[in-house]
Chains A and B, each alone.
Chain A
């Protein structure tokens, strides 16, 4: 069965510092890959997605993610964190074919930003 692992439950980073969130997936074939962000009390907002092609994907709010097939990873990065980036981040996968639009999520990483 497919699964998504986000090894870090919490990460604390200083404002202006870089951020990297890890995501590993287990799947029969390379799935569609997504990163979502959730602010407190809110729904999920899509940051970026990967289907194929260039393994470095640019998203909104200055985020990027790199797909590494050999490591089954899709890590999210941001060069300089802003206080408004404090939120919970979810990595998710969806199948390439069939199974409609079913997303499987990782457990999430909560990011705290220190002033």
Chain B
């Protein structure tokens, strides 16, 4: 079956703009999580959605937001982009119970100039 699909794979934005990233989880998975990966900070948890509700949130400013649709697809949005938002954004999906295997997509590379 298809894995976690993220779009777009690569994008370049200008400081001050906003961006929306999309994630389609594995079929049947109800939990979608987002992570930011940078060389300086490593992999950091942004938030998790389960059945359209945000279940967990990391320590990121309010410029970072997300949502999940009834088909479990998820989007994350970053407003008022800063240079430091340049990163690989990874989406992950799972069945949603503790200990379930968490599967990652290939990520969306965001460059802010």
Stretch at the interface among B14-22, B68-76, B90-98: B90-98
Q: Are A42 and B99 in contact (CB under 8 A)?
A: no
Specify which chain B residues have a CB less than 8 angstroms from the CB of A45 in the assembled complex. Answer: 104
Chain A 77-115 near chain B by CB (<8 Å), digits 1 or 0? 000000000000010001111111111111110000000
Chain A CB within 10 Å — which of B4, B58, B98, B105 has the most? B98
Question: Residue of B at shortest CB range from A49?
Answer: B101
What number of residue pairs across chains A and B have CB atoms under 8 A from each other? 70
Q: Which residue of B90, B100, B101 contacts A43 across the interface (Cβ within 8 Å)?
A: B90
* Number of B interface residues in the complex (CB < 8 A): 27
Q: State the majority secondary structure of interface residues on A.
A: loop
Given contacts A43-B104, A100-B50, 11 further A-B contacts (CB under 8 A): A32-B99, A95-B98, A96-B99, A98-B98, A99-B56, A99-B98, A100-B55, A101-B96, A101-B98, A101-B102, A107-B42
Question: Residue of B at shortest CB range from A105?
Answer: B43
A2 to chain B, nearest CB (A): 11
With A43-B106, A43-B107, A44-B90 in contact, do A103 and B101 touch (Cβ < 8 Å)?
A: no
Q: Are A102 and B104 in contact (CB under 8 A)?
A: no
Query: Which residues of A are interface residues toward B (Cβ below 8 A)?
Result: 32, 34, 36, 42-46, 49, 51, 90, 94-108
**A102 to B45 CA separation, bound complex (whole angstroms):** 7
Q: Are B105 and A32 in contact (CB under 8 A)?
A: no
Tell me if B24 counts as interface (CB < 8 A to partner A).
Answer: no
With A101-B48, A102-B45, A103-B45 in contact, do A42 and B106 touch (Cβ < 8 Å)?
A: yes
Specify which chain A residues have a CB less than 8 angstroms from the CB of B44 in the assembled complex. Answer: 105
